[in-house]
């Protein structure tokens, strides 16, 4: 049975970066190697502050005209991330232009390669981005695909362990905590803001937390983002070891699943944890099902 579908990403913030120094400049701002971004292959990267913490995330590809890079990010990052990217353009031959209103983006999953498509694994599986001018019709083979609702897209993201701004990606998080070492970071491309701290984390393997997936099988369990996680057991410490960041599923409908940050080394896969907004509830249990580190 085919699971091919399309996702409307037109509300995302979008920028064009042009100028002769565009690649060199952006490479000094993001965690991944921008030189690998082409007109048919997107690159995923973090923007971090000087302490290595996450300011936002970007999907980057080259415009087919060969004269610019096209960037997109979460809608809520439009103002702050745009200002952050423009702040360090000083003597560089680079111009950042907000083109959010001019373009629509459609992402297709579980399909063959699309003509004019940009390969992108936004949701942890092969997919294709299509950029079209606002108001332009999609190709028939794309418009015929089922359109996922926002609820379905969020469920897909969580089930595949994909972190998102601001739930998992924010100024309290390091990229390695969110499991982004292999597909959003390049440790050989050269310096960027925050690189020194992140290289140290890679060398030592020490970071405060790690992102995990969890499952609550009891259909009556109610869990919300921001709930704290505690070790179960009579002699377990009473101090929280983690926090829930994302939840999908509803009580009474077979339980729920989600993502959480847990103190590094505090709990392994198959660990059973208590969960609650303040103190743990003995009748509210979740089980860690996977680490999100790729």
43-72 pLDDT, tens digit per residue, is: 999 999 999 999 999 999 999 999 999 999
The residue-averaged pLDDT of 163-183 equals 97
Rounded distance, CA 71 to CA 129, Å? 12
Q: Is residue 155 located within the same domain as residue 19?
A: yes
Report if pTM > 0.75: yes
How far is C-alpha 192 from the chain's CA centre? 19
Residues 6+ apart with CB under 8 A from 200: none
Which tens digits make up the pLDDT trace of 226-240?
Answer: 999 999 876 666 789
- What the block records as the tokens of 285 is 């249990």
Q: Are 151 and 120 in contact (CB under 8 A)?
A: no
Residues 6+ apart with CB under 8 A from 170: 54
The answer to whether residue 174 sits within a structural domain is: no
Number of domains composing the chain: 2
Q: Are 177 and 207 in contact (CB under 8 A)?
A: yes
Of 117, 137, 159, the residue that ends a domain is 159
CATH number of the structural domain spanning residue 267: 2.40.30.110
Which tens digits make up the pLDDT trace of 180-193?
Answer: 999 999 999 999 99
The answer to whether residue 33 sits within a structural domain is: yes
The answer to whether residue 193 sits within a structural domain is: no
Q: Is residue 141 located within the same domain as residue 218?
A: no
pLDDT for 222 equals: 85
Q: What are the CA-CA distances from residue 1 to residues 46, 110, 172 (Å)?
A: 35, 11, 41
Q: Domain span at residue 109? A: 5-159
The answer to whether residue 169 sits within a structural domain is: no
The answer to whether residue 141 sits within a structural domain is: yes
């Amino acid at each position: 049975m085919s699971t091919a579908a399309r996702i409307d990403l037109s509300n995302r913030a979008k920028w064009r970066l042009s100028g002769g120094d565009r690649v060199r400049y952006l490479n000094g701002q993001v965690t991944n190697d921008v030189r690998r971004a082409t007109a048919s292959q997107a690159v995923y990267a973090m923007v971090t502050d000087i302490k290595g913490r996450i300011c936002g995330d970007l999907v980057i590809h080259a415009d087919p005209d060969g004269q610019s890079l096209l960037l997109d990010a979460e809608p809520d990052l439009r103002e702050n991330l745009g200002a952050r990217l423009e702040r360090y353009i000083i003597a560089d031959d680079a111009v950042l232009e907000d083109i959010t209103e001019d373009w629509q983006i459609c992402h297709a999953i579980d399909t063959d390669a699309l003509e004019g498509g940009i390969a992108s694994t936004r949701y942890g599986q092969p997919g294709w981005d299509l950029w079209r001018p606002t108001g332009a019709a999609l190709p028939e083979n794309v418009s015929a695909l089922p359109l996922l609702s926002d609820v379905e897209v969020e469920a897909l993201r969580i089930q595949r362990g994909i972190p998102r701004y601001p739930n998992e990606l924010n100024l309290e998080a390091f990229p390695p905590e969110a499991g982004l070492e292999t597909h959003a970071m390049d440790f050989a491309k050269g310096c960027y803001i925050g690189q020194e701290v992140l290289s140290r984390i890679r060398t030592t393997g020490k970071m405060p937390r790690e992102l995990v997936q969890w499952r609550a099988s009891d259909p009556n369990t109610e869990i919300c983002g921001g709930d704290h996680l505690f070790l179960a057991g009579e002699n377990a410490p009473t101090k929280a070891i983690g926090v829930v960041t994302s939840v999908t599923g509803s009580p009474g409908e077979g339980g729920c699943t989600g993502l959480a940050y847990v103190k590094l080394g505090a709990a392994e896969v198959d660990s059973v944890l208590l969960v609650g907004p303040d103190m743990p509830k003995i009748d509210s249990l979740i089980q860690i099902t996977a680490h999100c580190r790729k």
